[in-house]
């Protein structure tokens, strides 16, 4: 059994990790940490886990975490990088769900996240944890940077087009909507029911922190500079990402449906729908799946890709478990076969 610890277990992604790992056939949950809730039983905070998780929150002490085979960091940006070097030295593998190791350039990271990086020497080693592009590197990694939710939906939607060279890489547009859980479990006026219900708004239009991550991933896939306009929106739902992606075709005779079906044919968690479909966020709620559909409005030179995921599963905890399965030589879908919830 793989001994697993979670640092930062009281947020939404920490709770989702617990939900998934509690039923994983190859996992033993050893530690769950929280400074604020230390001493409390997990089920006092998350009653849905009664009878499934018998752990008490502990402080994030390295002596406890070193007993694990792998540690998931479900912490705010800037937390993991202070602890990761010591854990790696102790032979513990790490999967970070925050942004500490996603960008390869330390100066760019500091520009977007407003703090110096504590261990820039590890940025080149960290493997970006999008299995659909980095599966073999993930298998050998000791440090995995789990992608953000927006970057997962956007990259999976654009990758086949860019890899095949059938669109202009300099004029991509990503219009993406997220549920409120993407803002985390902290108290905030902007995410109060009375503030965000029955309303929708764009935010960070001038530049969102996920922009350099998306651009870095797409450029790695194409080997060329990518021009991307990325506009995120907050929507009045709890879970879900809906990304509407626009690209200009360079080969209007390309069979786009066949391109996507072939690219993702062997991918267990990408579902390419029939051409012209309209995937819904509710169709992936609670599941580690990205559903994608293609459109060519009026048969013109623009391709529209619709990409939906659950931001807490394929966009966070589920993808992290998928990475763990790869790192430990397990069946990639182990513990992740749950069907989406409807209604």
Is 102 within a domain?
yes
pTM to 2 decimal places: 0.96
Q: Which of 115, 305, 134 is nearest to 216 (CA)?
A: 134
Q: What is the pLDDT of residues 50-74, one digit of tens each?
A: 999 999 999 998 888 999 999 999 9
Is 343 within a domain?
no
Domain boundary among 125, 158, 187: 125
Same domain, 159 and 86: no
CATH number at residue 231: 3.30.360.10
Residues of the chain above pLDDT 90, percent: 89
Answer whether residue 194 shows pLDDT above 90.
no
Active site residues: 149
| Cβ proximity of 79 and 14 under 8 Å | no
The domain containing residue 204 runs over which residues?
149-311
Answer whether residue 187 shows pLDDT above 90.
no
> Looking at residue 236, what is its pLDDT?
94
For residues 234 and 38, the model is more confident at 234
Using only the alpha carbons of the chain, give its radius of gyration.
20
Mean pLDDT of 227-235: 97
Answer whether residue 164 shows pLDDT above 90.
yes
Going by their DSSP bridges, the two strands 302-309 and 290-295 should be labelled as antiparallel
**How many domains, the chain?**
2
Mean pLDDT of 71-92: 96
Same domain, 11 and 113: yes
Q: What is the DSSP code string of 85-106?
A: HHHHHTT-EEEE-SSTTT-S-H
Same domain, 166 and 220: yes
> Looking at residue 192, what is its pLDDT?
85
| Cβ proximity of 306 and 176 under 8 Å | no
Q: Which of 234, 241, 167 is nearest to 205 (CA)?
A: 234
Same domain, 115 and 161: no
Q: End-to-end CA distance of the chain: give it in Å, rounded.
A: 35
**Arithmetic mean of pLDDT over the chain:** 95
Weakest mean pLDDT among 93-107, 128-142, 193-207, 320-334: 193-207
CATH number at residue 68: 3.40.50.720
| Cβ proximity of 96 and 17 under 8 Å | no
Q: Report the distance separating Cα 152 and Cα 316, nearest Å.
A: 9
For 292, the 3-state DSSP assignment is strand
């Amino acid at each position: 059994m793989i001994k697993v610890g979670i640092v930062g277990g009281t947020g939404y992604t920490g709770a989702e990790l617990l939900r998934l790992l509690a039923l994983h056939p190859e996992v033993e949950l050893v530690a769950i940490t929280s400074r604020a809730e230390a001493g409390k039983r997990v089920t006092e905070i998350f009653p849905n886990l009664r009878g499934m998780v018998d752990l008490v929150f502990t402080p994030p002490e390295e002596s406890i975490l070193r007993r694990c085979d792998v540690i998931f960091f479900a912490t705010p940006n800037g937390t993991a990088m202070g602890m990761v070097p010591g854990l790696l030295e102790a032979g513990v593998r790490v999967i970070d769900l925050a942004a500490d190791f996603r960008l390869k350039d330390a100066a760019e990271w500091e520009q977007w996240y407003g703090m110096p990086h504590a261990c820039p020497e590890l940025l080149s080693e960290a493997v970006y944890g999008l299995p659909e592009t980095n599966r073999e590197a993930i298998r050998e990694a000791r440090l995995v940077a789990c992608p953000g939710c927006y970057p997962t939906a956007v990259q999976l939607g654009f990758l086949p087009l860019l890899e095949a060279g059938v669109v202009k890489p300099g004029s991509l547009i990503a219009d993406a909507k997220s549920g409120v859980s993407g803002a985390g479990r902290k108290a905030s006026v902007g995410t109060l029911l009375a503030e965000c219900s029955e309303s929708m708004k764009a935010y960070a239009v001038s530049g969102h922190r996920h922009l350099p991550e998306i651009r870095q991933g797409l450029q790695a896939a194409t080997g060329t500079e990518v021009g991307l306009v990325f506009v995120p929106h907050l929507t009045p739902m709890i879970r879900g990402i809906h990304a509407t992606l626009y690209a200009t075709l360079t080969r209007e005779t390309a069979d786009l449906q066949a391109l996507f079906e072939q690219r993702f044919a062997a991918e267990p968690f990408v579902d390419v729908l029939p051409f012209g479909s309209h995937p819904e966020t509710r169709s992936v709620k609670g599941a580690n799946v990205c559903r994608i559909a293609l459109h060519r409005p009026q048969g013109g030179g623009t391709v529209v890709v619709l990409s939906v995921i659950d931001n807490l599963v394929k966009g966070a905890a589920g993808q992290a478990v998928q990475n763990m399965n790869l790192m430990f030589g397990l069946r990639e879908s182990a513990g992740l076969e749950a069907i989406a919830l409807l209604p």
